[in-house]
A and B are shown apart, each in its own frame.
Chain A
């Protein structure tokens, strides 16, 4: 009897210790990065040991903000991330609705075709994409940074699956209620898909904000850098030794919006992951 009573307790303890160890593995590098970002570069050239920012300085952050271009890069990132998110949501929800509910020729083929987009790595299309945008003379514009990111197969897939799961009767009831196709979409389907739209929105925003490769290729004018490209451009040849605190501060600074989005919307992110796994 006694053994029985103790067992779950000891099991819980083991789980707890493991969880703490795992959490520490995840959190320690983050704390270290933050700590390094708050120490003077000169001090870091001697030693990077220690998790506490002693001596303490905000100079690295002041340097970031005082570089005249940073606000501009933040603005570019915001425009690109928000623009990408809004347009993706519009495209994915409309396409998803069509795939889920409207009969048209070659629907299945087209859907498979779109899903094939998931299998194509970004690196393989970057050169043709670059050539295409060059031909159109669109490099160094926000449109060039947004447009290639809008056709997101994952988004179309997610919205299609979500709309399919909404009972058909709701739409039929709406048809009997004199609702046009557009009214059904706007007043029934869209409000019901807010969880899916939120998930997709957050996912798209984070991807667009963190995007580095395509902005690095397309935005060659420093005025058009996004914050990821911009901050990386500030690194000199010997930055790893001479400006480690500054690099760390850049990393913290660039990930702040992402962290804020995660903190606010973590509930939806978890739900979204469950959704894409067919839960």
Chain B
């Protein structure tokens, strides 16, 4: 069992509060991804769990033991760094052995563990090489191997793929997912890449400015973002946010008058009155070309044809930029105005403060069955 609990954990740098009383539960064998823009505190939080940063307030427990004052080496956690942090003067095998030698483990056991990790990661032929003689992907494998041999309670990953090229990143992502299944280990993973977060996580923690914005499964965050920040951060390309006014409240939801047409959104109108300002959120992939006069009138500015899909970048009446994702055969030209339709059940509604209004049961039907 290896569960991690954060209770009101805070971090101050002088007068600046970098982490605001964060509460988080990471269960045994769970793969938790901390995601957020640069400077949101996700790496700081991970480093606090690792013991590389002091904790200014609150409590971190690992398996019900408070580890606030336990030194990094004594916590039973292993970390994979963004730039690998392999010891350049040691071979891969020596890199992996270093931590085990420091706890006085017998040589035979060290060799056995290295051999086992090497076969798991398919790095046998790299063991006698130094980091200098390896590619980025190979170095990352050795860094993961160094974590595996220690048989840690919790694996911590600090943006481990961000130094790799796009193709290798996809490959390593899949390997990390497989590794998680094989090792049955608790993993906490930091990234700014929402695709990595969506694909790897059992649970995603979205952070902004040192605060947790929302915690949930990837689909929960995608389908029911708590606010415009999460809505914009999860999903690619990001959700379109369009300002409008409540035009009608219907049994199915709320009708919103936007600068380019009226949209029906299947959201609960809690506290809303006709004429109130609201924000409509629509994901690019939920937009389609409708009949003339339908939905939103979008002036097309740029069309990107990617083969299987067409990305349309345009604006609506008040100048708000919108992105529309259409299929590869969509007939759209730059300069024309196209009617964009959106199913009421695909829309999201937010207050002007950015808080989401609950989506109606009809909108959520079947979304979490997968």
Interface residues of chain A, those whose CB is within 8 Å of chain B, are 167, 169-170, 172-180, 183, 187-188, 191-192
Contacts and interface: CB of A to CB of B under 8 A. Distances in A.
Interface of B is mostly: loop
B235 interface: no
B77, B82, B99, B146: most-surrounded residue (chain A CB, <10 A): B99
Contacts of A188: 87
Interface stretch (B8-16, B67-75, B174-182, B353-361): B67-75
A192 B88 contact: yes
B83 A178 contact: no
B282 interface: no
Contacts of A172: 50, 52, 72, 79, 81, 85
A169 B85 contact: yes
Given A169-B85, A191-B89, A178 B52 contact: no
Nearest to B94: A187
A170 B67 CA distance: 23
Interface in B113-148: 146
A192 to B, nearest CB: 6
Contacts of B52: 172, 175-176
Contacts of B150: 177
Contacts of B79: 172-173, 176
Interface residues of B, number: 24
A169 B83 contact: yes
B83 A167 contact: yes
B367 interface: no
B73 A173 contact: no
Interface in B252-308: none
A178 B89 contact: no
Contacts of A173: 79, 81, 85-87, 146
Given A187-B98, A191-B89, A178 B103 contact: yes
A191 B89 CA distance: 7
B83 A176 contact: no
A132 to B, nearest CB: 41
**Closest 5 CB pairs between A and B?**
A177-B99, A178-B73, A169-B85, A178-B102, A173-B85
A167 B81 CA distance: 12
B231 interface: no
Contacts of B71: 175
Given A175-B71, A175-B72, A192-B89, A169 B81 contact: yes
Given A170-B85, A192-B88, A192-B89, A176 B78 contact: yes
Given A191-B89, A192-B88, A183 B78 contact: no
A188 B90 CA distance: 9
A85 B243 CA distance: 73
A232 B89 CA distance: 46
Given A172-B52, A173-B79, A174-B98, A179 B85 contact: no
Given A188-B87, A192-B88, A176 B99 contact: yes
